[in-house]
Each structure stands twice: as structure tokens, then as C-alpha cells.
Amino acid sequence: MAQVDIKTKEEFQREIEGLESKQKQISKCVEVHEKLEGQLNENKIVKEELDLLDSDTKVYKQTGPVLVKQDVDEAKVAVQNRVSYISTELKKQEKVIQDLQKGQEQHKEKLKQIQSRLTPPTAQKA
Amino acid sequence: MAAPQQETVNLNSLSPHQLKTLHDQLEEEVEHLSVSMQTLKNTQQRYLESKESLSELKEDNVGKDMLVPLNSSVYVPGQLADASTVVVDIGAGYYVEKSVKEAEEFFKRKMDFLKQQMEKLQPSIQQKYQTKQIVAQLLQSKVMQAQAQQAAPQKA
């Protein structure tokens, strides 16, 4: 009986560690996701502003402390590309989070199973 | 719309411990949303200040002496050369040359947008706050019930 308990304890410990590590990973991924969302929204707003401009308006792009003159249409394309890129990154991140959450659920299930294996023997003793 | 029982979990079925956890979680959410709300207000204030500073760019101020900031502690003397256009930061590292009027319209657009966002956020904050209050009351009544039962134990 004691042997079974040790093995089960180890399994329990493993599942708990797995669960904790998944939770940490999920937190990090959620942070990245939020940052990407912020960037996406900012770029979308900039795109809208650029769309309101005539083609001869002066636009400058900031590189470090320097403002470099840019063509309106070039700027529009550049921002549009950024929007597309960030959208793809965002979707990738969402998939990663979903997979991690599935893994988390699996750990929780295993923990439940282990717990139900542990409790009946104690109930029988009483 | 107020009834918490519309949520997937009936609040009454939760233990005091679970209610406390839920209460703390709601409090954190309200706090987080309130910080967002404050950020929106601050940003709106900055746009307002930018818009108001445009009013100094009057034609009759052209040629007047002014101090130009090189950074937040260093200024150089200069003169107002052009009061008709400004370069405005539209975000993501892009700056656009606009006429004073266009710049004013830009700032107004931004302020209206922020106002919309704040109006969207406000109901969420209120709803969470109210749910939190309900949970707190429920928690309190359950705790009092448990204490009353302990004080006068009855064999059922």
C-alpha cells in the first residue's frame, strides 16, 4: 500500500509542476498578446489618419531622434504591412495560448483522477 | 440585467471561501479598469493642451522671439518662423505636416475618440463594481449565518 502511495505522490507532484509551468507560460503569452493588440490598434489608427491625407502632404517617419521625409503612399503601404504582420503574429500567439490552456486542462483532469484514487482508500479505512 | 444568477454559476451555491476569492478577483478587475479609465482621461487632457497651444500660433506672432526646447532642460533662443503649419505626431513614429486648422481638427478627432472609449468603458466598470458589492453582501450574510449556527447548535 505504501509503495502505491509514493508512486501516486510522485505522479501528483509531476502534474502540479506541469500545471504551474503551464500557468507561468500562459501569463507570459497573454502579456505578449496584449502588447501586440496595443500595437495593432495604434497602427490601425495611424493608417486611418494617413488615409485622410492628400498625396502631396508632407509625412515624416521618426528614426531615433531624426524625422525623415516620406511619401504619403509609401507610408500608407508601410503601415498597412505592419498591420498585416502584427495581425498574423497575434493569431499565432492566440493559438499558442489555446494549446497551453488545453495542456492546463489535461493536467487538471489528471490531478482530479489522482485525487479520486487517493480518497476512496481513506474512506474505506473509516 | 442586475441578477448575478444570470452568470453560469449561481452565487448562492458558492462557499464563503469561493465568494471571497471571487470578490478579490472582481476588485482587481475594477482597479485595473479604473487605471485604464484614468489613462484615457490623461491622454485626452494632453490632446486638449496640444490643441490649446495652437492658438498661440497666430500670424501676428511670426518673427517674435521664443525659446526653443532642445530637451526638457535646455532651450535656445529663436524666432517663430511659420505660424501656418505644424508637424503633428500621429502615432507609430509617424509625423504629419498639417495646417493649424487641420491640426485642430486632428486633436478634436482624437479627443472625441477617447471620449467614446471612456463611455464604452464606464458601464463595464459599474457592472463589475455592483457585482462585487453583491458578492460582498452575500459573503457577509453567509459568514453571519455560519456564526449563528455555531452559537446555537441544533441537532437536526
Q: Do B90 and A75 touch (CB under 8 A)?
A: no
Q: Identify the residue among A47, A60, A77 best suited for mutation to test binding to B, counting B beta carbons within 10 A and taking the highest.
A: A60
pLDDT in tens, B40-62: 999 999 999 999 999 888 878 88
**Residues with pLDDT less than 50, chain B:** 1-6
Minimum-distance CB partner of A57 among B91, B96, B106: B96
pLDDT in tens, A98-115: 999 999 999 999 988 888
Helix and strand numbers, DSSP H then E, in chain B = 2, 4
- Give the mean pLDDT of A55-73: 92
pLDDT in tens, A89-102: 999 999 999 999 99
Q: Do A79 and B94 touch (CB under 8 A)?
A: yes
A50: chain B residues, CB-CB within 8 Å: 90, 94, 96
- C-beta of residue B133 within 8 angstroms of C-beta of residue B27: no
In A15-55 the beta strands, taken as DSSP E runs, fall at none
Phi, psi dihedral angles at B88 (to 5 degrees): -115, 135
- C-beta of residue A36 within 8 angstroms of C-beta of residue A86: yes
- Give the mean pLDDT of A27-50: 95
Dihedral, CA of residue A30, residue A34, residue A40 and residue A46, to nearest 10: -170
Asked if residue A32 has pLDDT above 60, the reply is: yes
Asked if residue A7 has pLDDT above 50, the reply is: yes
Residue B106: strand, helix, or coil: helix
Query: What ipTM was reported for this prediction?
Result: 0.75
How far off is chain A from B140, nearest CA to CA, in Å?
31
- C-beta of residue A43 within 8 angstroms of C-beta of residue A86: yes
Can you give the pTM of this predicted structure?
A: 0.75
